[in-house]
Chains A and B, each alone.
Chain A
Amino acid sequence: MLLEVNNITKAFGGLLALNHLSFHIEEGEILGLIGPNGAGKTTAFNVISGFHKPDSGLIRFMGKNISGHNASEICREGIARTFQQVKTFPTLTGLDNVVCGAFCRTSNLEEAKREASRTIAWIGLDKERDTVVKELTLAERKLVEIGRAVATKPKLLLLDEVVAGLNPTEVDRMIGLVREINKSGITLIVVEHVMKVVMSVSDRIVVLDRGVKVAEGTPKEVSENKEVIKVYLGEAYA
């Protein structure tokens, strides 16, 4: 088990965002995390990646308890993430954005630049590498953000709604990239709303509703699960 989320609870004031949530992910998998709006998917990401501390429960990564570690520590421990609202560094070039990621594993500028160049080439961003990121399109910025995360050499990568706002061509490219990243040895958790993407890319899917896991299984199993249908479409369709 690469990551074990064990009985996590997280409340914001009166709102219970995660309610004794448990799931796990094996090394090499692509796990899809789905659920209606407000189900707690991004909160789960925030807790795993160290942006929120869980109120109770524990998170184990590669056997080590990481609950309560802060975000930068967790990245150094091997978990990287992207954000729903793309947070690239706007006045830096594509290359420099990725260099910042590469610095996670080295203190040498030349080496960081080499690693970043390699990552940029691999992702297919060579044209955009010297462009200041705020002048790039959304799809390009998403790729830069992913490249930056990949440059930190994570074992686990959390992608938050990575195809949101992309046109069909860009979506296909993104799906291809996600598979390439997985093939290179990185385990992935993918939060997505676009069903076609989740179903085609995930090995396994976990369905959340109101902070609780309501279903888990292969894409086929989940799509036929009555609970899941109820959660998304309501009682009448189940």
Chain B
Amino acid sequence: MKKMLNKLMVSRPESLKVWLLIIFFGILFTIPLWVKNPAILTIFIYTFLYAFYGASWSIIGKYGGQISLGHAVCFGLGAYISVWLHQYYGISIWLGMFAGGVVAALIFLLIGLVCFRLRGLFFILTTLAFAEVVRVIFNYPLSPLTNGDEGIALFKLQFMEKWPYYFIALAMMILVMIILQRIEKSKLGYYLAAIREEQEAAESIGINSVKYKSIALTISGFLSALSGAFYVHFLGWIGVTDVFGIMVSIQPIIISWVGGSGVFGPIIGSFIVTPVSLFLALLLGGAVRGLNHIVYAVTLIFIVMFMPEGVTGVLSRKVYHPLRKRFETIE
């Protein structure tokens, strides 16, 4: 609270930011009171969830500078482990989510340690390869347990209404924003920036890049697994390709790239991308199969070519900095 008040007194563009945040989240908190349409609430829930997932990815993908095409591993493992623990052993969903997160993070870390030996494109491809291997394992050898792509309908839904899921997802989104903010202003955040910009120089000032990339990867993996767990418990159904497929790995990347870097990037990205993609899937999914995937791909190409810094980058350049300069000359 004190920090918020301090911020309000700092300078005008900063306090504008804080006010916008207060209004924004204030509105979000009250939506379930006046919006009862379950479809609209569902759109919000997915928007919050993918903001959370996109932000989790960005910990290694943007802050760490290591683009991973394999996050489906965490998402899917988080989903399956929490479902197994809950459906077959009666362990509470919360505990199951946590356990899923830990296991997924550890497995992802092992994969990462192998991949970190590779640079650039090869790292990216290897993460993709691992994700596919895991998907195939869950689909064929493990199909008695997973029922492959036909999936398993969860026989116990935690909540009958939408609004509990709404608030949980909203809380998760706020939590991940706090986590990103804490990372940015920490040794880990500075070190990741250093590794990202000049890895050799980073090593020369005592930064063990493998160690810090691994920390980022583990946090990212843990949080991504929580997204997977939430996803399946909300959906009420779990299928192999639905949680391990390549679209699951691409989703957070699109959200992070569209939104831009920083704490707000994935949030903005998800608010733009998720509702649009849900509508596209609804409108086009039936008509031409895979059309929404094509739209996704084209969007990603467009963003990378013309707006690689994403929305926050553009806002920062065109709105925030000129605004700041204006206020600096006035004061």
Contacts and interface: CB of A to CB of B under 8 A. Distances in A.
B201 A87 contact: yes
A187 interface: no
B202 A51 contact: no
Contacts of A81: 204
A231 interface: no
Given A83-B200, A89-B198, A91-B197, A100 B207 contact: yes
Given A83-B201, A87-B200, A72 B206 contact: yes
B240 to A, nearest CB: 41
Residue of B197, B198, B206 contacting most chain A CB atoms (<10 Å): B206
B208 A72 contact: yes
Contacts of A51: 200, 203-204
A89 B200 contact: no
Interface string A136-151: 0000000001001101
Interface in B154-210: 185-187, 190-191, 193-194, 197-198, 200-209
A72 B187 CA distance: 15
B283 to A, nearest CB: 40
A107 B207 CA distance: 12
Contact of A96 (B187, B190, B204): B190
Given A89-B198, A96-B190, A109-B185, A49 B206 contact: no
Interface string A177-201: 0000000000000000000000000
B201 A76 contact: no
A76 B211 CA distance: 14
A71 interface: yes
Interface residues of A, number: 32
Contact of A100 (B200, B205, B209): B205
Contacts of B185: 109
A88 B206 CA distance: 14
A76 B206 contact: yes
Contacts of B208: 70, 72-73
A9 interface: no
B71 to A, nearest CB: 25
A99 B187 CA distance: 9
Interface in A141-178: 145, 148-149, 151-152
Given A71-B203, A72-B208, A152-B206, A90 B187 contact: no
A88 B190 CA distance: 13
Nearest to A97: B194
A92 B200 contact: no
Contacts of A107: 187
Looking at A70, A73, A75, A99, the one whose CB has the most chain B CB atoms below 10 A away is A75
Contacts of B202: 72, 100
A76 B208 CA distance: 10
A94 interface: no
A33 to B, nearest CB: 17
Contact of A104 (B186, B193, B205): B205
A78 to B, nearest CB: 10
B186 A109 contact: yes
A51 B205 CA distance: 12
Given A51-B200, A109-B185, A149 B193 contact: no
Contacts of B204: 49, 51, 71-72, 75, 80-81, 83, 87, 149
A100 B203 contact: no
A88 B201 contact: yes
B193 A89 contact: yes
B76 to A, nearest CB: 34
Contacts of A18: none
Of B186, B187, B191, most buried by chain A (CB within 10 Å of CB) is B187
Given A103-B190, A109-B186, A72 B203 contact: yes
B201 A109 contact: no
Contacts of B186: 109
A70 B193 CA distance: 20
Contact of A89 (B187, B197, B203, B206): B197
20 contacts: A72-B206, A72-B207, A81-B204, A87-B200, A88-B198, A89-B193, A89-B194, A89-B198, A89-B201, A90-B198, A92-B193, A100-B194, A100-B205, A100-B207, A103-B187, A104-B206, A112-B187, A149-B205, A151-B205, A152-B206
Q: Which 8 A-B pairs have the closest CB atoms?
A: A104-B206, A87-B201, A75-B206, A71-B203, A89-B197, A72-B208, A87-B198, A101-B205
Given A89-B194, A103-B191, 16 more contacts: A51-B200, A72-B204, A75-B203, A76-B206, A80-B204, A80-B205, A87-B198, A87-B200, A92-B197, A101-B205, A103-B206, A104-B205, A104-B207, A109-B186, A112-B190, A151-B205
